Amino acid sequence: MKQLVSLRDFLIKLFNARLTRIIVTALPLFLGLLATIYVQNFLEPVPILAFRMDIGIAALLFGIFLTLLLGAYFFGDESRGWFARGDMDEVRREMEESRRQFIRRLDHEIKNPLTGLQAALVNMSETSADADRHRASENARHALDRLKRLLADLRKLAELEERPLERLPVDIPALLEEVTEAVQSLPAAQERKINLLISRVPWPFPPVTGDRDLLSLVFYNLLENALKFTASADSVEVRALEDGRAIVVEVADNGMGIPPAELPKIFEELYRGVNARGTEGSGLGLALTRRIVILHDGALEVRSRQDDPRGTVFTVRLPVARK
Amino acid sequence: MKDDRPLLLLADDDPSIADTLAPFLERAGFHVLTVSDGAAALDKVHSHRPALVILDVLMPRMDGREVLRRIRRGNLWIPAILLTQVGESSERALALEEGADDYLNKPFDPHELLARIRAVLRRARPGERSLSTSWTLSALDLILDRKARRASHKGEALDLTPKALAVLEYLMTHPDECVSRERLLEAVWGWEYPAGTRTVDTRMAELRRALDDDPENPRYIETVPAEGYRFVAPVKGE
């Protein structure tokens, strides 16, 4: 029994050895060649199929065919790997570059509130007037809030990759109503009007399978952005419809619009466009939003124009739950 | 003169945290003992028997969870608060499994820590197992099996989402305590959601539907206007 096992091991090893593979691959070709020479010397050509073919040539062709087949079987992965290596290097370079870019941006995002915090601490320790101390502590708190928000969003991004998504039926119209109401209760949005349009005829929306809380974050972020980058005279609209396969939600505004050159970059982590300089935010909102949509097998797109009629439309497509 | 202030053991390897939190807690009326690693924390627990331990999760020599596990294994029911480094949900679930009475995600407001310390101490019955270390909790007709992640009401299994179940778990381990929506978010969701307070309300409505609990006349969950929620039924742990 033991011998049998070791014999089997030996055969497996032999079969897996590179030299064996090369020999086995080349063997049909070699045998075909031998057959060609041998047959030409001893046998008359015989008709095969419709045209006359030497049996030796047939053996050679068969050998070539078999060699190619075995070669593909044994060495296919290797050659594919060899061809793919160039692409891999390219991908790796891109990843490396985006990682470096992320660190540069992170450095920038941390630097500013930290500078504010440092200055506030100096003010606090060097002044004795109560009003000044109070202002300094307010500034410190503000800087701290910015840092905390950045950290919280970074954590969300990291956690999205790690924790399992809740997969339950989500009623999108109800969610949109809830989010719209929540955004409008923000102090900065009290005066603003958001038009919510949900098509309900001829049938109600089917549910989307997903994580309700994360999806609420998607619409919240888009809506908060729409309010942030529009003036109080501009309109903000949320519209939802269903096309049988997906629920499509658009968050639209007629605000200042996004420069065309920035459009491909706005979903990048910590990217800040010209509009976003000087506004509050972690710079991670859209990256988070897109990540959540992708985790739900959906798609997020943006269209924007800066010349009249100007404005921005974000479109979220979420596949509906299959029965 | 004997010091009758409650003794807190604070274990955190970061000196900037221990150095700033300790005076703050002293000012709040506690006596604070600080250590910078897990093994030292375990020693001090045995030698000083503090009223409460505050453990950082990531510490050299022995992490906070392991310290807590060993404390509990020795049948010591000293109340414990875990300071978690990352808001991972697995970590929060674990914190419960190791028998922490509460947990707080870094970074936190020191006043929040103080509020938790006071609440945990108020709840603690010296020498007795706390609800946080019990696997089965029951209140009136409601039974929550924490290990199996199942709840039943009047003998019937409840169909709850995992989040709603976790909310119920948090409320039942903190009975008769006003729990704010923000705190529930932090404890159960792990992150702050911008529309978070509504998120909590949605799950609370789900729980109330399942428990057939009338918000106007609650048997289980009471709404504390402008504050949060309170689990009003008496809870027993096994």
pLDDT for res B11: 93
Helix (H) or strand (E) holding A237: strand A236-242
Strands (E), chain A: 46-48, 51-53, 168-170, 194-198, 208-210, 236-242, 246-253, 299-305, 311-319
Provide the edge-to-edge strand list for the sheet that holds B80-84. B31-35, B7-11, B52-56, B80-84, B102-105
The mean predicted confidence, pLDDT, of chain B is 85
Quick check: A166 and B162 CB within 8 A? yes
User: Percent helix, strand, coil in chain A (nearest 5)?
Assistant: 60, 15, 25
Residue B111 clears pLDDT 50, i.e. is over it:
yes
- If asked whether residues A80 and A224 sit together in one domain, one would say no
Quick check: B163 and A155 CB within 8 A? no
- If asked whether residues A135 and A185 sit together in one domain, one would say no
Q: How confident is the model at residue B15 (pLDDT cuts 50, 70, 90)?
A: confident
Question: Which burial class, exposed, middle or buried, applies to A126 when counting CB atoms under 10 A from its CB (0-12, 13-18, 19+)?
Answer: exposed
The mean predicted confidence, pLDDT, of chain A is 85
Q: How confident is the model at residue A49 (pLDDT cuts 50, 70, 90)?
A: low
Q: Distance (Å, rounded) from C-alpha A95 to C-alpha A135? A: 43
pLDDT for res A90: 86
Nearest CA to A160 out of A249, A266, A269 is that of: A269
DSSP conformational letter for A15: H
Distance of CA A273 to the CA centre of its chain: 20
Contacts (Cβ under 8 Å, ≥6 apart) of A55: A35, A39, A43, A45, A46, A48
- If asked whether residues A141 and A182 sit together in one domain, one would say no
Give me the residues paired with residue B139 across strands: B142
Give the nearest partner residue to B193 out of A155, A217, A224, using CB atoms: A217
Q: Whats the size of chain B, residue-wise?
A: 238
pTM: 0.73
- If asked whether residues A113 and A179 sit together in one domain, one would say no
Quick check: A159 and B199 CB within 8 A? no
pLDDT in tens, B52-101: 999 998 888 888 888 988 888 888 888 999 887 655 554 455 555 667 88
Tokens, residue B221: 């969950």
pLDDT for res A51: 57
CA-based Rg of chain B, rounded to a whole angstrom?
Answer: 18
pLDDT for res A42: 67
Residue A212 clears pLDDT 60, i.e. is over it:
yes
Contact A37, A56 (CB under 8 A): yes
Quick check: A162 and B88 CB within 8 A? yes
Domain boundaries, chain B: 7-123, 134-237
3-state secondary structure of A269: coil
Quick check: B107 and A212 CB within 8 A? no
Q: Distance (Å, rounded) from C-alpha A292 to C-alpha A298? A: 9
- If asked whether residues A10 and A137 sit together in one domain, one would say yes
Q: Residue A320 half-sphere exposure, CB side, CA atoms within 13 Å?
A: 17
Q: Which residue segment(s) compose the domain that A257 sits in?
A: 168-319
Tokens, residue A8: 């089997």
Residue A48 clears pLDDT 70, i.e. is over it:
no
Nearest CA to A184 out of B182, B199, B194 is that of: B194
Q: Rounded mean pLDDT of A186-214?
A: 86
Domain end (from A145, A163, A181): A163
Class of domain B7-123: alpha beta
Nearest CA to A228 out of A276, A179, A194, A176 is that of: A276
Which residues of A fall within a CB distance of 8 Å from B190? Answer: 159
Give me the residues paired with residue A210 across strands: A168
pLDDT for res B91: 47
Tokens, residue B161: 């989402």
- If asked whether residues A104 and A174 sit together in one domain, one would say no
Residue type, B79: P
Tokens, residue B123: 């709840």
CA–CA min distance A305, chain B (Å) = 28
Q: Distance (Å, rounded) from C-alpha A113 to C-alpha A108? A: 9
Quick check: B194 and A213 CB within 8 A? no
pLDDT for res B149: 85
Phi, then psi, of B187 in degrees rounded to 5: -75, -40
Which residues of A fall within a CB distance of 8 Å from B202? Answer: 178, 212
Largest CA distance in chain B: 57
Residue B6 touches chain A, beta carbons under 8 Å: no
pLDDT for res A116: 87
State the virtual CA torsion across A258, A266, A277, A232 in degrees, nearest 10. Answer: 50
Q: Rounded mean pLDDT of B2-20?
A: 87
Tokens, residue B114: 């103080």
pLDDT exceeding 70 applies to what percent of chain A?
Answer: 93
Q: Distance (Å, rounded) from C-alpha B192 to C-alpha B109? A: 14
pLDDT for res B135: 83
Pick from A177, A183, A213, A284 the residue to mutate for testing the B interface (most B CBs within 10 Å). Answer: A213
Phi, then psi, of A306 in degrees rounded to 5: -105, -15
pLDDT in tens, B175-207: 888 998 888 887 787 766 776 778 888 889 989
Residue A85 clears pLDDT 70, i.e. is over it:
yes
How many domains does chain A divide into? Answer: 2
- If asked whether residues A182 and A92 sit together in one domain, one would say no
Contact B31, B14 (CB under 8 A): no
Tokens, residue A313: 């439309």
Residue A2 clears pLDDT 70, i.e. is over it:
no
Contact A274, A262 (CB under 8 A): yes
Q: Distance (Å, rounded) from C-alpha B157 to C-alpha B143? A: 9
- If asked whether residues A9 and A157 sit together in one domain, one would say yes
pLDDT in tens, A224-264: 999 988 888 889 999 999 988 899 999 999 988 899 999 88
- If asked whether residues A265 and A208 sit together in one domain, one would say yes
pLDDT in tens, A261-308: 998 888 988 888 777 776 777 788 899 999 999 999 999 999 999 988
pLDDT for res B1: 46
Give the nearest partner residue to A224 out of B87, B163, B194, using CB atoms: B194
Residue type, B144: L
Which residues of B fall within a CB distance of 8 Å from A181? Answer: 198
Residue B2 clears pLDDT 70, i.e. is over it:
no
pLDDT in tens, A131-184: 888 888 888 988 898 888 888 888 888 888 877 788 889 999 999 998 998 888
Provide the edge-to-edge strand list for the sheet that holds A299-305. A194-198, A236-242, A246-253, A311-319, A299-305
> What is the CATH code of the structural domain delimited by B134-237?
1.10.10.10
pLDDT in tens, A88-146: 888 898 888 888 888 888 888 888 888 888 888 888 888 888 888 888 888 898 889 88
Which residues of A fall within a CB distance of 8 Å from B195? Answer: 178-179, 182-183, 216-217, 220
Give the nearest partner residue to B198 out of A148, A152, A182, using CB atoms: A182
Residue B191 touches chain A, beta carbons under 8 Å: yes
